[in-house]
Each structure stands twice: as C-alpha cells, then as structure tokens.
A = this chain, B = another copy of it.
Amino acid sequence: MQNTPEVSFTEITPTAKIAAETHGGRAKCLQRLIRLGLPVPQTVALPFGAVHGIAAGEYLDAARLLAPFGEGALVSVRPSSQDPDWGGPGAILNIGMNALRHAALSETIGRDAATALYLRFVQAFAVHVARLDAEIFDQTGDDGGNTGAGADRALASALAAYEAETDEPFPQDPAVQLAEVLRSMARAWQGTSARLLRQARGAPPDAGLGLVVQRMALGVGQGESGSGVIQFIDEITGIPRIKGRYLGQSQGRDALLKNEGTLYLTRDPRGPSLEERAPECFAALVEYGRVIRTRLREEMQIEFTIENGTLHVLDAVRLRRSARALLRSAVALAEDGIISREEALRRIDPHALTELLHPQVDPAARREVLLAGLGASPGAATGRIVFTAQAAQAAEAQGENAILVRRETTPEDVRGMHAARGVLTEKGGMTSHAAVIARGLGVPCIVGAGGMTLDLRGETITLENGRTLRAGQVVTIDGTSGQVLAGAADLLEPQLDDSFQRLMEWAGAACDIAIRANADTPDDARMARTFAAEGIGLCRTEHMFFQEDRLTLMREMIFADTPEDRQAVLERLLPLQRADFVELFRIMRGQPVCIRLFDPPLHEFLPATREGLRELAEALDLPLSDVIRRVDSLSEFNPMLGMRGVRLGITIPEIYEMQARAIFEATVETGHQGATVVPEIMIPLVSARREVEIVKTRIDSVAAAVRIETGADFTYRLGVMVETPRAALRAGDIAGNVEFLSFGTNDLTQMAYGLSRDDAGRFMSDYVQQGVFAEDPFHRLDTEGVGELLMIGAERGRRMRPDVVLAVCGEHGGNPESIDFCRQAGFDYVSCSPFRVPVARLAAAQFALRDARKVEKGNLKQKLRRVFRKAPG
C-alpha cells in the first residue's frame, strides 16, 4: 500500500488553486467566502483525483493532512461535488475525538458536552465508516440520561458495542480516523445507488467528488455557543426576509432537525431570538449576507457556528427556492445591478415557469397520495369528484368546483373539462385528448392513472388498496406531479407579479423567433394577450361547434340528405361562426389570427352512447335504427387517418365555404369598427398539392363574393398545415399556392412513427425507460426523424417561395428544445398553448443569448448557417 502514489490536497487560501471543476462547488465556494474575508475555519480541499485515488486504494498521509490543523484539533469532512445538486455522502463531524481529547475537552467545555461529542462521533463513525447497524446503539444507549453517569455509561456502551461488532477497539489515532472517513466517503460516491441518484439529477456518469476537511467550530461549550442557518429571502415567495434557525449548544444541522430550544433569528414576539441573544453575531451575519449576495451574485443560505461568542461561517449554499422565488430573486439581482438582465434570463429554467402560471400544492403541506398517473397539465386544483361532463357543468353552474374523472375524454367532454377545475383520466398519454385539451384550457390534468378501477355507472373509483372514492368526495389534483391527493390540499395561488412581467419583457427583447398562442375561444385569446403572445398561431374552429346549440346544428348537417339541406343548416351556423370570429378579431386586434378550417372526422360530433343516440333520434325526428345506421356508417377503423381535414373540405365543400364566408364577413365587420385584420386561413391534413388548389379556388371565390356583397376590400393569407409526411416531402409543390406552411408536429410525429398519441400511453413509459426512445417524441420533438421532415419541408417550401412563412404549431411549440430546433431551422414563429407562451418565450430568449455568446466568442459559423438557410436560394 505504501508503494501506491500519494494523493494530493490543498489548504484553501485566497490564492490557492481551487476550482469547482477540480475540487467541487463547496471547496470553491469556501474559497470565495475566505476571499470575502468571512470567518471560515481553516479548511483543506481534496480534489476529485485525490478522492478517486483514495477509493482506488491509493495512499493518503492523513497525518500530514491533519498537521496544519495542529495537535488535538477536531475536524469535519464534507462532500464537494462539482454541482451541489448532485449530492454526496453526509458530513462527518468531530473527527479526532478519542479518549485523550475527551479528557482534555472535559476540562474546557465540560464533561457532558465532551462526552456528547465523543458519542456522536463514535456513532457516526460506526454507522457510516465501519458500516455497523445503527440499532446496536439503540440497545445500549437507552438506559440512562445524556448527562453525568448516564452519558458516561452511554459512551462506554457505544465503545464496547463498537469493539464487540468489529473485534477492534475504536480507533484512537486521529490520522487513522480521518483516513477511514475519507476512504469511506470516497467509496460511497462510487456506489451504484449514489451514481444512479446523481445521474438522475443530471450528473455525468464520471462525475467526480471532492472533499473538504474543516477545523470544527464546536458550537458546544462555554459562553454563547451553538449553530444555525440563515437566509435573506423567503424560499417560497422570494420576498426579502431574514429567515433561519439557531440552536444553542449544537453542531452541524441540529438547528434544522430539532424544534425544542431553537431561537428565531430576528426579534420575534413569540420567543427569544439570536438578534437579542448575540446582537454582534447577528449583525455580522446580516452583513455577510449582504456581501455574499453582492459578490457571489446569488441568494445563499449561510451555515454558521458560534463558539464561545465567536462567529464562524462554515459554509454557504445556493438557496433552494421555488420557481417563484427564483424568478423574483433573479429579477431583483438584475434590478439591483448585481447581475445583468441576460444573466437573470439565463438563470430561470423555462420549464419551471409553468409552476408560476397555475396554483400549486404547497410544498410544505401534508400530502396523502391516493393515486398517481402522468402529470399532463400542470397546476393543482381541489374539487368534488364528478363522472360526467354534464355533472361538471352542473357543478360550475352552482359555483362548485368539480374534478372530472373519465376513462378517457372525447370532444363531447370539452365543455365539461372547461367547467371542471381538474381532470383525471384512467387512460391516455401526454398527448391524449384529455392532456392536450387540458393544457390548452390551463386545467390541471392527470392522465393514464391506471391504478384505479373506474365504475362509471356506479360512480365509484376503486383504488388498488381497495379504498373507494365516490362522486362528491373532495380530492386534489396535482397536475404537476401527477398525484391525486386526498381532500383539499393547501394550494399556493399563482402570481404573475411585477417580477414575472419584467422577466417576460426582457425575454421578449432577447427573442429571435416569434411566439404565438393556440387559442380556440375568446377566453383562450384573452389568455394569449395576458401572456403577450404575438398573435394566434392556431385557432381550431371545430371546438366552436361543440356548444349545445351548435352541436345540434352540426348533427343536422351531418344527417342532411342533400347538399341543399346541408347548405340550409350551414346557413344557420354561419352567423354563429361569424360572431366567433368577430369576437376573436376584436380581442386580437392588430395581431395575426391563423384559423384552421374544420378538421375532425364528423363522427366526433355524434353521440357514442345508446342514450345519446336515442336523444339524437328524437331531436332529428328519425327512427333510432336510421340514426344508428348513419352513425355506424361514419365510424372509422383509424379516425386519425380517416375522413377528416381537407378530405372533408374536398368532399363536402359547403363546410369550408361557410367558414371562409364567416371569416371574411367578420373581417369586414371588424374593419368597419376600425380594426384591420388580415386573417390567415389554414388548410389541415393536406397530402397533395391538388387538395390545396381545389380549396384555394373555392375560398378565393367566396372572398370575391363577399367583396362584391359588402363593397369592402380586405386581404387574407392562405396556408397549409403540414402534418402528413407527404406534405413535408412535397412542400415545394404545395408552397407555390400558399403564403405560409405551419407544421403540425403532433400529427407529423404520429405519422412518422406510425404511433397514435392516444394509444402510445400504454407503452411509452416502457419505451422511454428502456431507452428505445430517448424521450417521448410527443413531448420533445424528434429532431432526427420528424425534425428531418421539418427541415426538408422548410427547405423545399423556401426554395419554391422564398418569402413563405414557416411555423410550428402544436404541443412542441411550447417545448424549449423543440423551439431551439425551430429557431435554428429558420422558422418564423412557434405557436403553443397560451400557458406555454411564457415558457416558450423564455426558452427562445435563452437560446438566442447562447447563440449571441457563441458569436461573440468568434464562432460565427452558427449565425452564417442560419442566415444562409433563410436566404432565398
């Protein structure tokens, strides 16, 4: 062993060579604190290589390491991984305690305190280093108090137990103790579970561990002694406020673990405070906090110990905060001139923004988890269980909050989903009907909750543990975590406060791709404006037909026997549809509104239950058998790939003609009211150029007719929703007839993979876990396959028509990685749920900043490539 190479270590001084990449974040942070002149106890850092060597059996001269601390010093060892979030083994304190030191400390800090320190170390060493069972100390330690003879007996028992279990006396040599602690911590880092845990937190497989050996500030003994933590903002709200705990006669994180005897930090009517007990120390801590925030440019939590009236700063860690607090503090730092706006933008994870936009279950609240599924639409909501869309609407009418529970949802449930506060479905994946609609509506939603047996008729849910939930029972849906909680959990309301607005402004300024919102209703459109979307990128008109009065008309139209009958029904729908668009145009005035023509298969408008069929037969005054036959004849094997979109537009031209007329008449009407609108009309599910030509001809002639009838002129843009692989391949062909190509990446993904998003839930998690798909392609754009179709389509479209507008609408429009892909591919805008707009904008801003930095660093290639892509050629 003596022949193996010796591991290196460095005492942390202001000038020592310490870096987070070699010694870990904690070592680096301690050096910064030392540089700032904070009273950090003497500390030695072991770099990653040294720790790796120790784990591999290389020799460490622990005596030499201990030498600078002086004879008889006690030390602690704490982990220092590159990123503090990656974790590491727990700290071990009081290394160096032995019989000799016990006797010596008994003189200075008192026998009981010294015994407590020794016992604490023996137990920690036994459990974490010698890997003995913690229970052996339970048996020996409960027969006396922790003072006087009882404490002595407990220590003696512990030492005896150690010896009995290991066949060796408890090591007395501090160097041996330290070497063993370091070896044990080095090995623990290599363990499988530790590796998996840190990889789950984003660490690379070969992440290194550093260790810091620090002289103990005891926190026990004479004079004011104790330990605590302090922070300067609220970790949930981000509002400036001194917060923390202090416990006299304690060490390490005791103040956080124990309630009895802890002090408030600031003066408090409820009890004694550190501010009163040790005003100088408190004042120093506040000043240190100020210095740290200003110089380390971050909100930190300081760990401190007072030893006989002297303040020691053991450590400072980045404060763990809610997204809201993170945002507020980043904006505050930028407004205080401590960091730049760009830096503030970079610091917020766009995904975390969703937390801000919806109520959340209070992280501090008690959670009784009943059931788990996929968190498909974030946010939390409490309400009474209902099992039908009708019941949800009834509840809303009575001012009650409902949680709609369905096996899966269908378009008929949409109004119920709107009325409900939250949605829970047994089936479905991240892009099932329920998930997509709920995200669009901003309603918290959990899908694929397979662990329940749903009896819709009996209106009960039976959980796997046999427990039953009935209609009317109160539950809380946590759409962020995917958990269903019992009763009404404590919720935190969202706050789109000044900080949020400020950050969004900064993001908007930094963005290099436009962000629009998908909005089907006036409510959606208003939400889009709230989040400052740059227009509507996708207005799905079919949702307008699910309202009660229109649904009946739609069904009449479907059952019409002749084009004339159909025309007659559509004429009754026209004013309703026109009113929809007028309202939408008014809300969005000055901004583009892209309207997708009718898309879904007609059978989505027909009832699925026998009850519904009977009602329909009555409403239409037809024999039930007729109705059943007609409904049957419209049923499809694969509705996704059936008679919908432009196929309906070609075969039943009256529908698109009515819609075009409604759009144009609404344009004229809004124009008369002083707001010029240039509507964008999008044709769905195109797979061949000729489809576009036929629809274009008809729409152009409707436009001409409306111009003549109204005497008003207007312009509009025609485009195609590129959602079949063939449309992407033939985009050049298609672009000749249109002004924009908006890629519907949901359907494009479904078709490229041959994978229905509604059916993928059954195996997607298996697939992602086994690494078959790196990620759910409905969640994050598959850049290799679907992405190539986008690139091909964009390139061919631009080649045919250099000014063609390129966009992505659909769920991916709100996914940061997918947005980056679209930016780089030269797309003009992405469109996503209103609630995703802030996420998308922040992500886009971050990518733009990243690229700008790259350019600054001389890497012009990236930019040139983009410019090249955007060029007409």
Instruction: Choose, from A255-263, A631-639, A826-834, the stretch at the interface.
Output: A631-639
Given A650-B767, A729-B785, does the pair A759, B641 have CB atoms closer than 8 Å? yes
Give chain B nearest CB distance to A781 CB in angstroms.
Answer: 13
| Any B CB within 8 A of the CB of A766 | yes
| Any B CB within 8 A of the CB of A691 | yes
With a CB–CB cut-off of 8 A, which chain B residues contact A758?
636-638
Once the chains bind, are A772 and B641 in contact (CB under 8 Å)?
no
| Any B CB within 8 A of the CB of A858 | no
Given A650-B772, A767-B650, does the pair A641, B725 have CB atoms closer than 8 Å? no
Once the chains bind, are B785 and A643 in contact (CB under 8 Å)?
no
Q: Which of A780-796 contact B (CB under 8 A)?
A: 782, 784-786, 788-789
* A754 to B725 alpha-carbon distance, docked (Å): 8
Chain B CB count within 10 A is highest, among A688, A726, A771, A786, for A726
Once the chains bind, are B772 and A690 in contact (CB under 8 Å)?
yes
Instruction: Choose, from A99-107, A218-226, A348-356, A745-753, the stretch at the interface.
Output: A745-753
* A791 to B136 alpha-carbon distance, docked (Å): 72
Copies in the complex: 2
Closest B residue to A636 using CB positions: B759
* A647 to B789 alpha-carbon distance, docked (Å): 23
Once the chains bind, are A726 and B782 in contact (CB under 8 Å)?
yes
Chain B CB count within 10 A is highest, among A637, A694, A770, A788, for A637
Once the chains bind, are B767 and A753 in contact (CB under 8 Å)?
no
Question: Among B723, B726, B756, which residue has its beta carbon within 8 angstroms of that of A641?
Answer: B756
* A629 to B636 alpha-carbon distance, docked (Å): 22
* A688 to B752 alpha-carbon distance, docked (Å): 11
Once the chains bind, are B756 and A638 in contact (CB under 8 Å)?
yes
Q: Which of A595-653 contact B (CB under 8 A)?
A: 629, 636-643, 647, 650-651
Give chain B nearest CB distance to A217 CB in angstroms.
Answer: 53
* A813 to B165 alpha-carbon distance, docked (Å): 76
Given A754-B724, A754-B751, does the pair A730, B637 have CB atoms closer than 8 Å? no
Question: Among B687, B751, B763, which residue has its beta carbon within 8 angstroms of that of A643?
Answer: B763
* A730 to B642 alpha-carbon distance, docked (Å): 26
Chain B CB count within 10 A is highest, among A629, A647, A724, for A647
Chain B CB count within 10 A is highest, among A639, A642, A753, A759, for A759
Given A694-B772, A753-B724, A782-B726, does the pair A759, B637 have CB atoms closer than 8 Å? yes
| Any B CB within 8 A of the CB of A241 | no
Once the chains bind, are A786 and B638 in contact (CB under 8 Å)?
no
* A773 to B782 alpha-carbon distance, docked (Å): 29
Give chain B nearest CB distance to A585 CB in angstroms.
Answer: 31
With a CB–CB cut-off of 8 A, which chain B residues contact A691?
772
Once the chains bind, are A687 and B754 in contact (CB under 8 Å)?
yes
* A771 to B690 alpha-carbon distance, docked (Å): 8
With a CB–CB cut-off of 8 A, which chain B residues contact A690?
770-773
With a CB–CB cut-off of 8 A, which chain B residues contact A320?
none
| Any B CB within 8 A of the CB of A56 | no
Give chain B nearest CB distance to A795 CB in angstroms.
Answer: 14
Q: Which of A682-740 contact B (CB under 8 A)?
A: 685, 687-688, 690-691, 694, 723-726, 729-730
Once the chains bind, are B685 and A773 in contact (CB under 8 Å)?
no
Given A724-B752, A753-B724, does the pair A637, B640 have CB atoms closer than 8 Å? yes
Given A641-B640, A643-B762, does the pair A725, B750 have CB atoms closer than 8 Å? no
| Any B CB within 8 A of the CB of A755 | yes
With a CB–CB cut-off of 8 A, which chain B residues contact A782?
726
With a CB–CB cut-off of 8 A, which chain B residues contact A789?
725, 729
Q: Which of A785-818 contact B (CB under 8 A)?
A: 785-786, 788-789
* A369 to B466 alpha-carbon distance, docked (Å): 63
With a CB–CB cut-off of 8 A, which chain B residues contact A755?
641-642, 687, 724
Give chain B nearest CB distance to A461 CB in angstroms.
Answer: 14
Give chain B nearest CB distance to A287 CB in angstroms.
Answer: 56
With a CB–CB cut-off of 8 A, which chain B residues contact A786?
726
Question: Among B639, B694, B747, which residue has its beta carbon within 8 angstroms of that of A637?
Answer: B639
Interface membership of chain A positions 645-674, coded 1 if the CB is closer than 8 angstroms to chain B and 0 otherwise: 001001100000000000000000000000
Once the chains bind, are B726 and A636 in contact (CB under 8 Å)?
no
Once the chains bind, are A650 and B752 in contact (CB under 8 Å)?
no
* A271 to B647 alpha-carbon distance, docked (Å): 63
Give chain B nearest CB distance to A748 CB in angstroms.
Answer: 9
Question: Among B641, B756, B773, which residue has its beta carbon within 8 angstroms of that of A750?
Answer: B641
With a CB–CB cut-off of 8 A, which chain B residues contact A750?
641
With a CB–CB cut-off of 8 A, which chain B residues contact A767?
647, 650
* A694 to B753 alpha-carbon distance, docked (Å): 18
12 CB < 8 A contacts A-B: A638-B639, A638-B641, A643-B759, A643-B762, A650-B766, A650-B772, A687-B754, A688-B773, A726-B785, A726-B786, A729-B784, A729-B785
Of all A-B residue pairs in the complex, the 7 with the closest CB atoms, nearest first, are: A641-B756, A638-B756, A726-B785, A642-B759, A724-B754, A637-B758, A725-B725
Which residue numbers of A lie inside 8 Å of B, CB to CB? 453, 629, 636-643, 647, 650-651, 685, 687-688, 690-691, 694, 723-726, 729-730, 747, 750-756, 758-760, 762-763, 766-767, 770-773, 782, 784-786, 788-789
